[in-house]
Chains A and B, each alone.
Chain A
Amino acid sequence: MIQLTATPASTLTDEPVHIRATGLCPSQIVIFQATLEDEKGNLFHSQAYYKASEVGEVDLDHAPSLGGDYIGVHPMGLFWSLKPEKFLTKLMKRDVMTSPFLVQIKLYDSNLPLAQIAATDPKVSVTLERWYRAPGVTRIQVQEGHLRGALFLPPGEGRFPGVIDLFADIGGLIEYRASLLASHGFAALALAYCDYEDLPLHPEKIELEYFEEAVNFLLRHPKVLGPGIGIVSISKGAEIGLSMAIHLKQVIATVLINGPNFVFSTPQVYRGQISQPLSFSPQLVSINALGLAQFQYCFEEARSKASETFFLPIEKAQGHFLFIVGEDDKSINSKAYAEQATEQLRRNGKDNWTLLSYPGAGHMLEPPYSPLCCASKLSKLHLFMQWGGEVTLHAAAQEHSWKEIQKFLKKHLIPVVTSQL
């Protein structure tokens, strides 16, 4: 009798699942398929072909996929290779507290062409829950002063190391990374800065005082461990994170994922001083065979001619940096910017940084097992903007970098004395 097991059945979305099938015919070729429906009803699928062993078993921890959405031994391949039915739809969990994503793992025991799977019943299937928060994590809507966002707290009395989570300037409030960080013991503030509640739709400038207010808010909170806080930031969020690290001495550990070492698009202001953006040369866009636009080199013309004043004075920051770079980032030239920033630190005699550079990883580095989104339609343009990344390498980078991020934050935010108690 064919049996399919996937354990644990209910997990945090950044934890692995062990998938096994038994009771097959020896050397039989089978298809594993994963299906997920997001909160808007979009369907995502992935599939892989496996060959059963001489005793009729397939253990995804050991067996190689022969073909499909990935090949080789990838125990979590079915998760990170999920692809949308609707072209380039990104998988994003909005409600991180009250519901998980349900992932159906299905087994087909005949050698079917993939196009026919949808019309066929699987031999056996199991459904898994993938949660974005651990049991006991609480969410508090934040509307203090100018601040807009959501604070996620781990269960228990605390105190917990505080982290501010910043995404790119696409607007709204993205919560899933903060809720996961809280599930790993951090007090994480998902901070919105545009197009959310009463925040401006398209701010004319980024006021660093807003982010300073957020740092003070977090440090004031009774469940937050001081005296400093950390930042996890990506893209435009990483530009802001870098400025925060430079100007605010309470920022002692900053994770910069695929971010620039200069201001782009919207200027920054702090205490009356304006940091002008580097100009963007849209004519340097490169559009690939499928019409996906690569903006990676659109700052190069300005960057090569820019005076030093355009580059953020990273040497002034007192805390530590973790640079996370996807070498295949097709939206901005992440590797070059991170290298220039670390070079600037080196020249100033600083060694307060680590650079993790991942070949084949793209712009959208997310928690582990998140499917690669290689391009998105930007609402401001009608183009598809390419993020880059090769599926398998990107997945490996997400797994590795997530562990490194947590290690880095814990190392710098939790005083050694305390952790020995």
Chain B
Amino acid sequence: MFQLTATPASALADEPVHIRVTGLPPLQIVTLTASLKDERGYVYQSKAFYKANEVGELDLMEAPSIGGDYVGVHPMGLFWSLKPEKVFRRLIKQDVMNSPFYVTLNLYDSVYVQVSTTDQPRASQTVQRWFSGPGVQRVQIQEGRVRGALFLPPGEGPFPGIMDLFGGRGGLVEFRASLLATHGFAVLALAYFGYEDLPKKLEEIDLEYFEEAANWLLAHPKIQKPGIGVISVSKGVEIALAMACFLKHVVATICINGPNAIYEFPLRYKDLVITPIPSFMERVQMDVLGAMRLRHYKGDARDELNQKSVLPIEKAQGAILFIVGDGDECMNSREYAEQALDQLRSHGRNNGRMLVYPGAGHLIEPPYTPLCYASPHRLGSGILLWGGDPVAHAAAQEHSWGEIQKFFREQLTQTRSKL
């Protein structure tokens, strides 16, 4: 009798699941699939083919997949290789507090390259993947100009405070903040356009808005003083680096795949205006499916004429960690990080560090997040290529997540212990 176990059955989305099958015919080749329906009703699926051992067992911690969405030993492969049935969709959890993603694991006793709705699995298990842990609190924020959501760990605190900035897609993305809160940080997921009464489109970066948010966070009774961290991705990196340069309360900054200079729109902070480096629209490249590779699109931050747009990172007081996907098709992320580190070195500073992940793409997210290779960026913008080799990208997400938490614990706790 076939048995499929997946433990734990309910876990945080960034925790691994141990999948085992028993009761198979010895050496039988079987199909394992995973499927998930997101909150908009879009279905994501993955599959892999495995060979049972001589006693008819299969342990995904040890057995290699021989084909399908991934090959080799990848215990969480079925999760990170989930693909949308409707191509170019990106999986993002909207409600991070009250509901998990339900992932159904199915076992078929032979090779099914394509599973139809009439095919019955021989065994099935559904696991829950949560984006917040018990006791985590979510507080909707509408203080002054600040718009977003604050996630607090359970307990009295105070907790190390982090601001979470996503990129040019706008709106409010909460799942990373809620997961970090589950790991003991107080995290403000901050929106800056395309959300509530914030501007619909991004036309300039007003650093005083982010300063207001940082000050508000630091003033919160449950947030440790005297400094906060910032985690950012893509366009958000420009903002995070600017905060690190100009706001002395930002003492730890993580920059994932983003520029060290101002692009597209000017940045304004009090009297200071940093004008953007121009982009070269004609340098867009379409891949074979018509998705746009923007990697070569932006002007060169090392060009002498563009130096006034490069952020004065030597002014940053705190530590900076650059996380780079070398397979990023959207931005020349490695170049930006290297230039920033060169700039620090040339000013005798050593507060910057870089982690480069070969084969990882632009959207480096918490572990087991399915690789989104390309998706529409904003309404009417066309499909953007993010890049990434699935196996390398999954490994990068797993490794970097540990590094992110370690970095914030070291930098933010040290600050506290200096008191």
7 additional contacts (CB under 8 A) given A69-B290, A112-B281, A113-B381? A67-B282, A83-B290, A283-B111, A284-B66, A287-B47, A287-B83, A293-B113
| Contacts known (A67-B285, A114-B292, A286-B71); A291 close to B380, Cβ less than 8 A | no
Q: Are A290's CB and B286's CB within 8 A?
A: no
Within 8 A of B (CB), among A298-341: none
Which B residues contact A (CB, under 8 angstroms)? 29, 31, 47, 49, 66-69, 71, 81, 83-84, 87, 111, 113-114, 116, 280-286, 288-290, 292, 296, 371, 373-374, 380-382, 388-390
Q: Are A114's CB and B371's CB within 8 A?
A: no
Q: Is A382 an interface residue (CB 8 A)?
A: yes
Which A residues contact B (CB, under 8 angstroms)? 29, 31, 47, 49, 51, 66-69, 71, 81, 83, 87-88, 111-115, 282-291, 293, 372, 374, 381-383, 389-391
A114 vs B297: C-alpha distance in the bound complex, in angstroms? 13
Give 27 CB contacts A-B under 8 Å: A47-B286, A49-B284, A66-B283, A67-B280, A67-B282, A68-B284, A68-B286, A69-B286, A83-B290, A87-B87, A111-B282, A113-B381, A114-B292, A283-B67, A283-B111, A284-B67, A285-B68, A287-B81, A287-B83, A289-B371, A289-B389, A289-B390, A291-B87, A374-B289, A381-B114, A383-B113, A391-B288
Which one, A29, A68, A111, A389, contacts B285 given CB within 8 A? Answer: A68
Q: Are B281's CB and A111's CB within 8 A?
A: yes
In the complex, chain A residues whose CB is within 8 Å of the CB of B373? 289-290
In the complex, chain B residues whose CB is within 8 Å of the CB of A284? 49, 66-67
Q: Are B114's CB and A289's CB within 8 A?
A: no
Residue of A287, A288, A381 with highest tally of chain B CB at under 10 A: A287
Q: How far is the CB of B90 from chain A (nearest CB, A)?
A: 13
Q: Are B111's CB and A282's CB within 8 A?
A: yes
Q: How far is the CB of B2 from chain A (nearest CB, A)?
A: 18
A233 vs B67: C-alpha distance in the bound complex, in angstroms? 30
In the complex, chain A residues whose CB is within 8 Å of the CB of B389? 289
The closest CB in chain B to the CB of A382 belongs to B114
Residue of B116, B290, B388 with highest tally of chain A CB at under 10 A: B290
Q: Are A285's CB and B67's CB within 8 A?
A: yes
A256 vs B114: C-alpha distance in the bound complex, in angstroms? 30
Shortest 9 CB-CB distances between A and B: which pairs? A49-B282, A283-B49, A289-B373, A83-B290, A291-B83, A66-B282, A67-B283, A282-B113, A69-B286
Which one, A49, A51, A81, A381, contacts B281 given CB within 8 A? Answer: A49
| Contacts known (A66-B283, A293-B113); A286 close to B67, Cβ less than 8 A | yes
| Contacts known (A291-B87, A389-B288); A115 close to B66, Cβ less than 8 A | no
| Contacts known (A68-B284, A383-B113); A289 close to B289, Cβ less than 8 A | no
Q: Are A289's CB and B388's CB within 8 A?
A: yes
Q: Are A290's CB and B111's CB within 8 A?
A: no
In the complex, chain A residues whose CB is within 8 Å of the CB of B296? 67
Q: How far is the CB of B349 from chain A (nearest CB, A)?
A: 37
Q: How far is the CB of B138 from chain A (nearest CB, A)?
A: 32
The closest CB in chain A to the CB of B45 belongs to A291
A284 vs B67: C-alpha distance in the bound complex, in angstroms? 5
In the complex, chain B residues whose CB is within 8 Å of the CB of A287? 47, 68-69, 81, 83
Which one, B71, B281, B292, B374, contacts A290 given CB within 8 A? Answer: B374
In the complex, chain A residues whose CB is within 8 Å of the CB of B281? 49, 67, 111-114
In the complex, chain B residues whose CB is within 8 Å of the CB of A390? 288
The closest CB in chain B to the CB of A289 belongs to B373
In the complex, chain A residues whose CB is within 8 Å of the CB of B371? 289
A69 vs B371: C-alpha distance in the bound complex, in angstroms? 24
Q: How far is the CB of A113 from chain B (nearest CB, A)?
A: 6
In the complex, chain B residues whose CB is within 8 Å of the CB of A283? 29, 31, 49, 66-68, 111
In the complex, chain A residues whose CB is within 8 Å of the CB of B111? 282-283
A386 vs B109: C-alpha distance in the bound complex, in angstroms? 26
The closest CB in chain B to the CB of A51 belongs to B282
